[in-house]
Amino acid sequence: MPRPLEKEEKDLKESGHLAERDSEKSNLGPGICGQIEKLVLCKRYNEALELFEIVECEGGDFDVNVDTYDALVGACIALRSIRGVKRVFSHMVNSGVDFDLYMMNRVLLMHVRCRMMIDARQLFEDMPERNLVSWNTIIGGLVDSGDYLDAFSLFLMMWEEDSDDVGSRTFATMVRASAGLELISPGQQLHSCALKMGLSGDVFVSCALIDMYSKCGSIEDAKFVFDMMPEKTTVAWNSVIAGYALHGYSEEALSMYYEMQDSGVKMDHFTYSMIIRVCTRLASLPHAKQAHAGLIRNGFGSDVVASTALVDFYSKWGRIGDARNVFDRMPQKNVISWNALISGYGNHGRGAEAVDLFQQMVRQGMVPNHITFLAVLSACCYSGLSDRGWEIFESMSRDYKVKPRAMHYACMVELLGREGLLDEAFSLLRDSPIKPTINMWAALLTACRVHKNLELGKYAAEKLYGMEPEKLSNYVVLLNIYSSSGKLQEAAEVLRTLRRKGLRMLPACTWIEIKKQQYVFFTGDKSHPQTKEIYDNLEEVKLQISKHGYLPHGNNLLPDVDEREESMLLHHSEKLAISFGLISTPSSTPLQLVQSHRICNDCHNAIKLISTVYQREIVFRDGSRFHHFKDGHCSCGDYW
DNA sequence: CTAGGGTTAG
pLDDT digits (tens, 9 = 90+) for A245-279: 999 899 999 999 999 999 999 999 999 999 999 99
Q: Separation of CA A289 and C1' B6 in angstroms?
A: 18
Evaluate if residue A314 carries a pLDDT over 80. Answer: yes
> What is chain A's mean pLDDT, rounded?
86
Nearest nt to the CA of A135 via C1' is B1
Q: Which residue's C-alpha is at the least distance from the C1' of B6?
A: A270
Please give the Cα distance from A307 to A302 (Å, whole number). 7
Q: Separation of CA A436 and C1' B8 in angstroms?
A: 25
Q: Which residue's C-alpha is at the least distance from the C1' of B9?
A: A371
Nearest nt to the CA of A180 via C1' is B4
Q: Separation of CA A179 and C1' B4 in angstroms?
A: 12
Q: What is the dihedral of CA A11, A14, A19, A22, to 10 degrees?
A: 50
Q: Which of A15, A409, A610 lies closest to A417 in space, CA to CA?
A: A409
Evaluate if residue A17 carries a pLDDT over 50. Answer: no
Please give the Cα distance from A212 to A606 (Å, whole number). 48
8 A C-beta contact, residue A96 and residue A87: no
Amino acid A10: pLDDT: 55
Amino acid A561: pLDDT: 47
Count of other CB atoms within 10 angstroms of residue A157: 11
Lowest mean pLDDT among A48-52, A77-81, A158-162: A48-52
Per-residue pLDDT tens digits for A18-57: 444 444 444 444 577 777 788 777 778 778 778 787 777 7
Nucleotides of B under 7 A from a protein CB: 1-10
Q: Separation of CA A319 and C1' B5 in angstroms?
A: 29
8 A C-beta contact, residue A213 and residue A184: yes
Q: What is the dihedral of CA A341, A346, A351, A355, to 10 degrees?
A: 40
Q: How confident is the model at residue A475 (pLDDT cuts 50, 70, 90)?
A: confident
First to last CA, chain A: 60
Q: Where are the beta strands (DSSP E) in A461-528?
A: 509-514, 517-522
**A539: exposed, middle or buried (C-beta count within 10 Å: 0-12, 13-18, 19+)?**
exposed
Residue A512 phi/psi, 5-degree rounding, is -140, 145
8 A C-beta contact, residue A422 and residue A447: yes
Nearest nt to the CA of A208 via C1' is B4
SS3 A621: strand
Q: How confident is the model at residue A568 (pLDDT cuts 50, 70, 90)?
A: confident
Residues 6+ apart with CB under 8 A from A297: none
Q: Separation of CA A101 and C1' B1 in angstroms?
A: 12
> What is the pLDDT averaged over residues A70-75?
88
8 A C-beta contact, residue A209 and residue A175: yes
Residues 6+ apart with CB under 8 A from A5: A35, A38, A39, A42
8 A C-beta contact, residue A491 and residue A476: no
pTM of the model: 0.85
Which has more pLDDT, A569 or A129? A129
Amino acid A14: pLDDT: 52
Please give the Cα distance from A185 to A627 (Å, whole number). 44
Nearest nt to the CA of A274 via C1' is B6
Evaluate if residue A573 carries a pLDDT over 60. Answer: yes
Interstrand relation of A618-621 and A591-595 (parallel, antiparallel or unpaired)? parallel
Q: Which residue's C-alpha is at the least distance from the C1' of B7?
A: A305
Query: In chain A, helix, strand, coil percent, each to 5?
Result: 65, 5, 30
8 A C-beta contact, residue A325 and residue A337: no
Please give the Cα distance from A229 to A207 (Å, whole number). 9
Please give the Cα distance from A291 to A288 (Å, whole number). 5
DSSP A307-334: HHHHHHHHHHTT-HHHHHHHHHH-SS--
Chain CA centroid to CA A563, Å: 37
> What is the pLDDT averaged over residues A333-357?
95
Q: Separation of CA A631 and C1' B9 in angstroms?
A: 28
Maximum CA extent, chain A: 98
Q: Separation of CA A81 and C1' B6 in angstroms?
A: 25
8 A C-beta contact, residue A357 and residue A333: no
> What is the pLDDT averaged over residues A1-15?
52
Chain CA centroid to CA A409, Å: 22
Evaluate if residue A385 carries a pLDDT over 90. Answer: yes
> What is the pLDDT averaged over residues A405-419?
93
Amino acid A62: pLDDT: 64
| The three-state (H, E, C) secondary structure of A44-111, written as one string | CHHHHHHHHHHHHHHHCCCCCCHHHHHHHHHHHHHHCCHHHHHHHHHHHHHHCCCCCHHHHHHHHHHH
Nearest nt to the CA of A105 via C1' is B1
Q: How confident is the model at residue A107 (pLDDT cuts 50, 70, 90)?
A: very high
Q: How confident is the model at residue A179 (pLDDT cuts 50, 70, 90)?
A: very high
> What is the pLDDT averaged over residues A354-364?
96
Q: How confident is the model at residue A6 (pLDDT cuts 50, 70, 90)?
A: low
DSSP A537-558: HHHHHHHHHHTTT----TTT--
Evaluate if residue A60 carries a pLDDT over 70. Answer: no
Run of H or E including A630: strand A626-630
Lowest mean pLDDT among A14-18, A191-195, A446-450, A520-524: A14-18
Evaluate if residue A5 carries a pLDDT over 70. Answer: no
Compute the Cα dihedral for A531, A537, A539, A541 and give only its sign: negative
Please give the Cα distance from A310 to A324 (Å, whole number). 10
Nearest nt to the CA of A337 via C1' is B8
User: To the nearest whole percent, how much of chain A has pLDDT over 70?
Assistant: 92
Tell me A523's DSSP state.
T
Q: Separation of CA A567 and C1' B7 in angstroms?
A: 43
> What is the pLDDT averaged over residues A329-333?
93
> What is the pLDDT averaged over residues A426-441?
92
Tell me A244's DSSP state.
H
Please give the Cα distance from A461 to A467 (Å, whole number). 10
Per-residue pLDDT tens digits for A215-241: 998 999 999 999 999 889 999 999 999
8 A C-beta contact, residue A525 and residue A573: yes
SS3 A626: strand
What amino acid is encoded at A467 in this protein? M
Nearest nt to the CA of A316 via C1' is B8
Evaluate if residue A459 carries a pLDDT over 70. Answer: yes
Q: Which of A56, A96, A51 lies closest to A71 in space, CA to CA?
A: A51
8 A C-beta contact, residue A313 and residue A283: no
Please give the Cα distance from A9 to A18 (Å, whole number). 8
Please give the Cα distance from A238 to A231 (Å, whole number). 14
Q: Separation of CA A239 and C1' B4 in angstroms?
A: 8
Beta bridge partners of A594: A511, A621
Nearest nt to the CA of A625 via C1' is B10
Length of chain A equals 640
8 A C-beta contact, residue A206 and residue A230: no
Nearest nt to the CA of A77 via C1' is B1
> What is the pLDDT averaged over residues A337-344?
96
Q: Which of A257, A252, A224 lies closest to A238 in space, CA to CA?
A: A257
Q: Which residue's C-alpha is at the least distance from the C1' of B2?
A: A169
Q: Separation of CA A637 and C1' B10 in angstroms?
A: 21
Q: Separation of CA A625 and C1' B10 in angstroms?
A: 12
